[in-house]
Structure 1
Amino acid sequence: WHVASLVGALMSYVFVTNMKDLLYFSVKVFFHSILSIFFREIEAVGLDNVPQYGPVIFTTNHANQFIDGVTVMCNCRRKISLLVAEKSWNRRVVGDIAWAMGCVPVRRA
Protein backbone atom coordinates (compact mmCIF):
# COMPACT_ATOMS: atom_id res chain seq x y z
CA TRP A 1 0.00 0.00 0.00
CA HIS A 2 3.07 2.24 0.23
CA VAL A 3 3.30 2.30 -3.54
CA ALA A 4 -0.39 3.23 -3.81
CA SER A 5 0.13 6.07 -1.32
CA LEU A 6 3.15 7.32 -3.25
CA VAL A 7 1.26 7.18 -6.55
CA GLY A 8 -1.71 8.97 -4.95
CA ALA A 9 0.53 11.71 -3.58
CA LEU A 10 2.26 12.09 -6.94
CA MET A 11 -1.06 12.30 -8.78
CA SER A 12 -2.31 14.91 -6.30
CA TYR A 13 0.85 16.99 -6.86
CA VAL A 14 0.47 16.81 -10.65
CA PHE A 15 -3.22 17.69 -10.40
CA VAL A 16 -2.59 20.74 -8.21
CA THR A 17 0.35 22.04 -10.25
CA ASN A 18 -1.53 21.63 -13.51
CA MET A 19 -4.76 23.11 -12.15
CA LYS A 20 -3.88 26.62 -13.37
CA ASP A 21 -3.20 25.30 -16.87
CA LEU A 22 -6.47 23.38 -16.80
CA LEU A 23 -8.35 26.50 -15.67
CA TYR A 24 -6.65 28.63 -18.34
CA PHE A 25 -7.54 26.12 -21.07
CA SER A 26 -11.13 25.86 -19.81
CA VAL A 27 -11.57 29.64 -19.80
CA LYS A 28 -9.99 29.85 -23.26
CA VAL A 29 -12.43 27.24 -24.65
CA PHE A 30 -15.37 29.01 -22.98
CA PHE A 31 -14.47 32.43 -24.39
CA HIS A 32 -13.69 30.99 -27.82
CA SER A 33 -17.24 29.61 -27.86
CA ILE A 34 -18.66 32.97 -26.79
CA LEU A 35 -16.66 34.85 -29.43
CA SER A 36 -17.87 32.47 -32.14
CA ILE A 37 -21.47 33.34 -31.20
CA PHE A 38 -21.01 37.12 -31.40
CA PHE A 39 -18.46 37.37 -34.22
CA ARG A 40 -18.85 35.54 -37.51
CA GLU A 41 -15.14 35.69 -38.25
CA ILE A 42 -12.05 36.95 -36.44
CA GLU A 43 -9.00 37.28 -38.62
CA ALA A 44 -5.70 37.12 -36.77
CA VAL A 45 -2.96 38.58 -38.95
CA GLY A 46 0.75 38.00 -38.34
CA LEU A 47 0.57 35.07 -35.93
CA ASP A 48 3.66 33.60 -37.58
CA ASN A 49 5.61 36.63 -36.29
CA VAL A 50 4.92 35.75 -32.65
CA PRO A 51 7.83 33.76 -31.19
CA GLN A 52 6.94 30.53 -29.41
CA TYR A 53 9.16 31.32 -26.43
CA GLY A 54 10.39 34.40 -24.65
CA PRO A 55 8.77 37.66 -23.66
CA VAL A 56 6.27 39.37 -25.95
CA ILE A 57 4.08 42.42 -25.40
CA PHE A 58 0.80 42.67 -27.29
CA THR A 59 -1.00 46.00 -27.39
CA THR A 60 -4.51 46.59 -28.62
CA ASN A 61 -6.47 49.68 -29.53
CA HIS A 62 -9.54 48.74 -27.60
CA ALA A 63 -13.11 49.85 -27.41
CA ASN A 64 -13.94 47.25 -24.76
CA GLN A 65 -11.57 46.21 -21.98
CA PHE A 66 -12.70 42.58 -21.95
CA ILE A 67 -13.09 41.70 -25.63
CA ASP A 68 -9.54 42.68 -26.60
CA GLY A 69 -7.76 40.46 -24.11
CA VAL A 70 -10.08 37.54 -24.75
CA THR A 71 -9.64 37.90 -28.52
CA VAL A 72 -5.85 37.89 -28.22
CA MET A 73 -5.94 34.95 -25.81
CA CYS A 74 -8.19 32.88 -28.08
CA ASN A 75 -6.11 33.51 -31.20
CA CYS A 76 -2.63 33.14 -29.74
CA ARG A 77 -1.09 29.67 -29.70
CA ARG A 78 0.93 30.31 -26.57
CA LYS A 79 -0.28 30.95 -23.05
CA ILE A 80 -0.48 34.66 -22.33
CA SER A 81 -1.04 36.82 -19.26
CA LEU A 82 -3.19 39.91 -19.41
CA LEU A 83 -3.20 43.07 -17.34
CA VAL A 84 -6.49 43.75 -15.58
CA ALA A 85 -7.56 46.80 -13.58
CA GLU A 86 -7.33 46.13 -9.85
CA LYS A 87 -10.93 47.35 -9.53
CA SER A 88 -12.06 44.58 -11.91
CA TRP A 89 -9.74 42.06 -10.21
CA ASN A 90 -11.50 42.67 -6.90
CA ARG A 91 -14.97 42.00 -8.34
CA ARG A 92 -16.43 38.61 -7.57
CA VAL A 93 -17.01 36.91 -10.94
CA VAL A 94 -14.67 39.01 -13.08
CA GLY A 95 -11.84 38.61 -10.58
CA ASP A 96 -12.29 34.84 -10.42
CA ILE A 97 -12.15 34.57 -14.21
CA ALA A 98 -9.14 36.91 -14.32
CA TRP A 99 -7.37 34.74 -11.74
CA ALA A 100 -8.12 31.59 -13.76
CA MET A 101 -6.71 33.29 -16.86
CA GLY A 102 -3.49 34.19 -15.04
CA CYS A 103 -4.11 37.93 -15.28
CA VAL A 104 -1.96 40.46 -13.45
CA PRO A 105 -3.84 43.13 -11.46
CA VAL A 106 -2.75 46.74 -12.02
CA ARG A 107 -3.67 49.68 -9.81
CA ARG A 108 -4.73 52.70 -11.84
CA ALA A 109 -3.64 56.16 -10.82
Structure 2
Amino acid sequence: MALYVCTTDPKINPSATVAVLRRYAIVRDWEINTVVLDASPLDTPLTAREQWAEIQDMIEERRAEGVIALHGHICDPAPGDRGPLLRWLTERGGFLSVVPYGKRGGFDVHL
Protein backbone atom coordinates (compact mmCIF):
# COMPACT_ATOMS: atom_id res chain seq x y z
CA MET A 1 0.00 0.00 0.00
CA ALA A 2 1.03 3.53 -0.73
CA LEU A 3 -0.03 6.26 1.68
CA TYR A 4 -0.58 9.53 -0.19
CA VAL A 5 -0.77 12.92 1.54
CA CYS A 6 -0.94 16.40 0.02
CA THR A 7 1.07 18.52 2.44
CA THR A 8 -0.36 21.80 1.12
CA ASP A 9 -3.85 21.16 2.54
CA PRO A 10 -4.18 23.92 5.17
CA LYS A 11 -6.79 21.90 7.10
CA ILE A 12 -4.46 19.06 8.06
CA ASN A 13 -1.20 18.35 9.82
CA PRO A 14 0.88 16.07 7.54
CA SER A 15 2.44 14.08 10.41
CA ALA A 16 -0.94 13.45 12.04
CA THR A 17 -2.37 12.52 8.65
CA VAL A 18 0.34 9.94 8.00
CA ALA A 19 -0.32 8.47 11.46
CA VAL A 20 -4.07 8.21 10.73
CA LEU A 21 -3.51 6.61 7.31
CA ARG A 22 -0.96 4.23 8.80
CA ARG A 23 -3.43 3.13 11.52
CA TYR A 24 -6.15 2.75 8.87
CA ALA A 25 -3.91 0.38 6.90
CA ILE A 26 -2.61 -1.56 9.90
CA VAL A 27 -6.06 -2.41 11.31
CA ARG A 28 -6.89 -3.90 7.90
CA ASP A 29 -3.66 -5.91 7.83
CA TRP A 30 -2.44 -4.00 4.78
CA GLU A 31 1.32 -3.79 4.32
CA ILE A 32 2.57 -0.24 3.82
CA ASN A 33 5.23 -0.03 1.12
CA THR A 34 5.70 3.72 0.95
CA VAL A 35 4.54 7.08 2.23
CA VAL A 36 4.33 9.78 -0.42
CA LEU A 37 4.19 13.40 0.71
CA ASP A 38 3.20 15.63 -2.19
CA ALA A 39 3.71 19.41 -2.00
CA SER A 40 1.51 20.05 -5.05
CA PRO A 41 -1.58 22.22 -4.52
CA LEU A 42 -4.79 20.24 -4.02
CA ASP A 43 -6.36 21.62 -7.20
CA THR A 44 -3.49 20.33 -9.34
CA PRO A 45 -4.57 17.42 -11.57
CA LEU A 46 -3.09 14.12 -10.41
CA THR A 47 -1.02 13.64 -13.56
CA ALA A 48 0.60 17.04 -12.99
CA ARG A 49 1.43 16.53 -9.31
CA GLU A 50 5.09 16.29 -8.37
CA GLN A 51 4.93 12.95 -6.57
CA TRP A 52 2.05 11.18 -8.34
CA ALA A 53 4.47 9.51 -10.78
CA GLU A 54 5.93 7.59 -7.82
CA ILE A 55 2.46 6.21 -7.03
CA GLN A 56 1.89 5.29 -10.67
CA ASP A 57 5.24 3.49 -10.87
CA MET A 58 4.55 1.52 -7.70
CA ILE A 59 1.15 0.38 -8.98
CA GLU A 60 2.49 -0.41 -12.47
CA GLU A 61 5.39 -2.41 -11.05
CA ARG A 62 3.15 -4.10 -8.46
CA ARG A 63 5.21 -2.78 -5.56
CA ALA A 64 1.95 -1.45 -4.08
CA GLU A 65 -1.53 -2.93 -4.31
CA GLY A 66 -3.37 0.32 -3.79
CA VAL A 67 -3.44 3.89 -2.55
CA ILE A 68 -4.77 5.21 0.75
CA ALA A 69 -5.52 8.94 0.84
CA LEU A 70 -7.63 11.42 2.74
CA HIS A 71 -10.93 12.52 1.26
CA GLY A 72 -10.16 15.49 -0.99
CA HIS A 73 -6.51 14.61 -1.56
CA ILE A 74 -7.16 12.66 -4.74
CA CYS A 75 -8.19 15.40 -7.09
CA ASP A 76 -11.08 14.65 -9.40
CA PRO A 77 -11.64 16.00 -12.93
CA ALA A 78 -15.16 16.92 -11.79
CA PRO A 79 -16.52 16.70 -8.24
CA GLY A 80 -17.12 13.05 -7.39
CA ASP A 81 -15.78 11.72 -10.71
CA ARG A 82 -12.92 9.33 -10.07
CA GLY A 83 -13.80 7.22 -13.10
CA PRO A 84 -10.49 7.52 -14.99
CA LEU A 85 -8.41 6.91 -11.86
CA LEU A 86 -10.52 3.94 -10.77
CA ARG A 87 -10.40 2.40 -14.27
CA TRP A 88 -6.62 2.83 -14.36
CA LEU A 89 -6.28 1.17 -10.94
CA THR A 90 -8.69 -1.65 -11.80
CA GLU A 91 -6.84 -2.44 -15.03
CA ARG A 92 -3.73 -2.96 -12.91
CA GLY A 93 -5.39 -4.88 -10.09
CA GLY A 94 -5.10 -1.93 -7.72
CA PHE A 95 -7.55 0.02 -5.62
CA LEU A 96 -8.14 3.33 -3.88
CA SER A 97 -9.21 3.66 -0.26
CA VAL A 98 -10.39 7.14 0.72
CA VAL A 99 -10.34 7.98 4.43
CA PRO A 100 -12.83 10.54 5.78
CA TYR A 101 -11.72 13.20 8.21
CA GLY A 102 -13.16 16.12 10.09
CA LYS A 103 -15.78 16.82 12.69
CA ARG A 104 -18.51 14.70 11.09
CA GLY A 105 -17.35 11.23 12.02
CA GLY A 106 -13.99 11.21 10.29
CA PHE A 107 -10.53 10.88 11.73
CA ASP A 108 -8.84 13.84 13.44
CA VAL A 109 -5.84 14.89 11.38
CA HIS A 110 -5.34 18.30 12.99
CA LEU A 111 -3.13 17.14 15.88
Q: TM class, shorter-chain normalised?
A: 0.3 to 0.5
Q: Which has the larger radius of gyration?
A: 1
Higher helix share: 1
TM-score (norm 1): 0.32
TM-score (norm 2): 0.32
Higher strand share: 2
